[in-house]
Each structure stands twice: as C-alpha cells, then as structure tokens.
C-alpha cells in the first residue's frame, strides 16, 4: 500500500509548526511546552546538551513518540490527526540510524521509495545516487560502507520523497572534516533548490554557524534562547557560538548572568 500523497504547501506558510509541545515520562517533563516554526528553505539549528530534549522533540515530530500535549503541523496538516499525510512530506537522517547493513545501497533506496510511495522511483533513486555520488556503491551492502559513505546513503534515503520537512540529528557526527564539509554543501544546495525546511540538531557549533540561519537553545526541555547564530553570542557577551553553548550548558537558566 502506498503512502499518502504529500499535501501541497503554500510558500508563505511554515513547513513545520510546533505549538505548546510537551512530553512527560511520569513525573519527569522531558519537553516543557515549546513552540517554534520552520519556514520553506530555512535551516534551523536545535542546540542543547545531552538530555536537553532535542531527540525527544524530533521523535515527536516524526510521529515516533506521542506528545503529552500540544500540536505539530506539517504545512496545514495536523500530524496527530492525519499522521500518514503529514509524514509523507517528512524525512529524517542521523548517523545513529544507519540503513540496514545486509541490503545494498540500491536495495535500501528501493525499499524506502516503495514505503514512501515515490512515483517513478527508479529515476528518483538515480537522482539521489547522483546527488551524493553513490553510483559506485549502488550494489555494495550498506554494512560494508565507511562512516561517511553510510551518512551519504542515509541522506539519499532522506531526500527520496522530496520532503518539505527534513529532520537531521547530528548528521555529520563521527565522520572526517572533508566529508562533513561536502555533506553540508550538498544539503544546503538541496534546501536552496527545493525550499525544504530543515531542523538540524547538532553539538558542532562550527557546523551550525555555517549552515543555519537561526538557532534555538534547548535546556531542560525549554527553548531559552533563539536567534541568528552569527549575532546571538555578542548579545550575551560571548565571542563565539561555542562559548555561548558552554555558558548555557553550565548555567542554563541564568540568562541575566550571561548578559552581564
């Protein structure tokens, strides 16, 4: 059975809109009523230390976790009410979620193309193989690829269905700087060409400054800072985004001290 066709989105409206999103595990609030949006062609960084709530937030947007409260819209489609329609316009990549290693690159892409109901999928597979320079690995099992090659294969999968919302969780972690630079360049070109909206979770502040037009700092399940990654540090008396990240990690709720 094919996935539901993506619902056309107006270029004026956000491709992702999150409102008052909350996730509780018993008495523990992992995400505390956060709200944000991502516009077409925008790459938004989601920053925070381990345990801040980044992966929980992404998992709720992917429909893997059910929110305790709040709403998620992909364009005008309510994820909680129309999950298949919403997720038809969404995709995801992370180095900790590699493609099945016992299948070749082409076999993996074919399986996911069928799952997403991609029309004319042979041509689309050829296109993403071109984008990520994977033709020579098309018949190689994914488990035999290097870390960088596996990352490129995972991103090829993530772009198969031409997503309007792309969720990236540490997409270049554990790969060499040259490969990471090429991957960032490829993602930026894809976003510019397709006007996909990207939510990019990362601990790599250099990467975030290079690719993101806006960042959000998540601390203890709350968004406590938001702005342009190139100008935000100076607003809090810091020289670099990394300095600001470290300060927020040490004193996550003492914003007054950061500004002093």
Distance CA 42, CA 22 (A): 24
| Residue 12: predicted pLDDT | 62
pLDDT at 13: 85
For residue 259, the model assigns a pLDDT of 55
Q: Give Cα separations from 184 to 150, 152, 197, 214 (angstroms).
A: 15, 11, 15, 16
Tokens of 104: 């070749």
Taking 60 as the threshold, does the pLDDT of residue 109 lie above it?
yes
Give dist(CA 63, CA 18) in Å, integer.
Answer: 13
Average pLDDT over residues 249-258: 61
Residue 29 in tokens: 């609030």
* 191-218: pLDDT as tens digits: 999 999 999 998 889 999 999 999 999 9
Residue 47 predicted with pLDDT over 80: yes
Sequence ranges of the domains in the chain: 1-89+165-260, 100-162
Contact at 8 Å (CB) between 218 and 54?
A: yes
Q: Which residues touch 104 (CB under 8 Å, ≥6 apart)?
A: 138, 139, 140, 141, 142
In angstroms, rounded to a whole number, what is the distance separating the alpha carbons of residues 31 and 58? 11
Give the integer Cα–Cα distance in Å for 206 and 243: 11
Confidence class of residue 51 from pLDDT cuts 50, 70 and 90? confident
Average pLDDT over residues 10-34: 90
How far is residue 253 from each of residues 25, 67, 147, 156, 202, measured CA to CA in Å?
22, 24, 36, 39, 20
Q: Which long-range CB contacts under 8 A does 135-142 form with residues at least 24 apart?
A: 137/105, 138/104, 138/105, 138/106, 139/104, 139/105, 139/106, 140/104, 140/105, 141/101, 141/102, 141/103, 141/104, 142/98, 142/99, 142/100, 142/101, 142/103, 142/104, 142/105, 142/108
Q: For the chain, what percent of residues have pLDDT higher than 90?
A: 75
For residue 252, pLDDT beyond 70: no
pLDDT tens digits, 122-141: 999 999 999 999 999 999 99
Task: Average the pLDDT over 139-161 and give the result.
Answer: 95
More confidently predicted of 95 and 236: 236
Candidates 26, 59, 62, 54; CA nearest to 221 is 54
Quick: pLDDT tens for 27-45: 999 999 999 999 999 999 9
Chain position carrying tokens 């972690």? 173
Supply the pLDDT for residue 255: 56
In percent, how much of the chain has pLDDT > 70?
A: 92
Q: Mean pLDDT over residues 5-17, rounded? A: 65
- What rounded mean pLDDT belongs to the chain? 90
Query: Which homologous superfamily is 1-89+165-260 in?
Result: P-loop containing nucleotide triphosphate hydrolases (3.40.50.300)
- Measure Cα distances from 13 to 39, 41, 58, 66, 226 in Å: 7, 12, 20, 24, 20
Cα–Cα distance list, 228 to 43, 89, 210, 232, 257 (Å):
11, 26, 11, 6, 20
């Amino acid at each position: 059975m094919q996935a539901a066709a993506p619902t056309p989105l107006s270029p004026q409206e956000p491709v992702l809109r999150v409102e008052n999103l909350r996730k509780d595990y018993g008495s523990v609030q992992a995400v505390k009523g956060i709200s944000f949006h991502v516009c077409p062609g925008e790459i938004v960084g989601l920053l925070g230390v381990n345990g801040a709530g980044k992966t929980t937030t992404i998992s709720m947007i992917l429909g893997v976790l059910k929110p305790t409260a709040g709403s998620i819209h992909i364009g005008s489609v309510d994820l909680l009410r129309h999950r298949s329609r919403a997720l038809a316009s969404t995709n995801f990549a992370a180095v900790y979620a590699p493609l099945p290693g016992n299948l070749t690159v082409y076999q993996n892409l074919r399986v996911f193309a069928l799952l997403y109901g991609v029309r004319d999928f042979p041509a689309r597979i050829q296109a993403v193989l071109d984008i990520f320079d994977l033709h020579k690995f098309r018949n190689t099992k994914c488990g035999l690829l290097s870390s960088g090659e596996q990352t490129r294969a995972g991103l090829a999968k993530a772009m198969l269905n031409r997503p309007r919302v792309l969720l990236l969780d540490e997409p270049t972690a554990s790969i060499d700087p040259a490969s990471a630079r090429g991957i960032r360049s490829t993602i930026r070109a894809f976003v510019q060409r397709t006007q996909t909206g990207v939510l990019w979770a990362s601990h790599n502040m250099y990467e975030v400054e290079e690719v993101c037009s806006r960042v959000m700092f998540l601390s203890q399940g709350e968004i406590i800072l938001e702005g342009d990654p190139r100008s935000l540090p100076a607003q809090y008396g810091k020289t670099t985004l990394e300095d600001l990240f470290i300060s927020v990690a040490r004193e996550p709720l003492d914003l007054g001290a950061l500004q002093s």
